[in-house]
């Protein structure tokens, strides 16, 4: 996997301004993340951000990942 996020702590990732990770779905379980939470392959993140910042987030982390 070429994701820059796998095996990194939430607090060590430069998410951008006004981006909040509210939940992680991992193996069918829902996790409320903390700064020390490490992201795993196939985690699904619930992201909260403003409409203005959403495009920047997609460009930085999601384009070409589908």
Q: Is the pTM of this model over 0.85?
A: no
Tens digit of each residue's pLDDT (9 = 90 or more) over 24-50 = 999 999 999 999 999 999 999 999 999
Starting at the edge strand found earlier in the chain, the sheet holding 44-49 runs 29-31, 19-26, 44-49
Question: In this structure, are residues 41 and 6 in contact, taking their beta carbons and an 8 Å threshold?
Answer: yes
Q: What is the pLDDT of residue 17?
A: 87
Please provide the average confidence, as pLDDT, over all residues in the chain: 88
DSSP 54: H
| Dist CA 60 CA 27 (whole Å) | 25
| HSE toward the beta carbon, residue 5, CA cutoff 13 A | 18
Q: In terms of pLDDT, which residue wins out, 66 or 19? A: 19
Q: What is the pLDDT of residue 2?
A: 65
- pLDDT of 66 over the 60 cut: no
């Amino acid at each position: 996997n070429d994701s820059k996020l796998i095996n990194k702590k939430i607090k060590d990732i430069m998410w951008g301004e006004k981006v909040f990770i509210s939940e992680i779905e991992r193996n069918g379980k829902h996790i409320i993340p903390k700064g020390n939470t490490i992201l795993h392959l196939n985690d699904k993140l619930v992201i909260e951000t403003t409409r203005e910042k959403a495009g920047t987030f997609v460009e930085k982390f999601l384009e070409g990942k589908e």
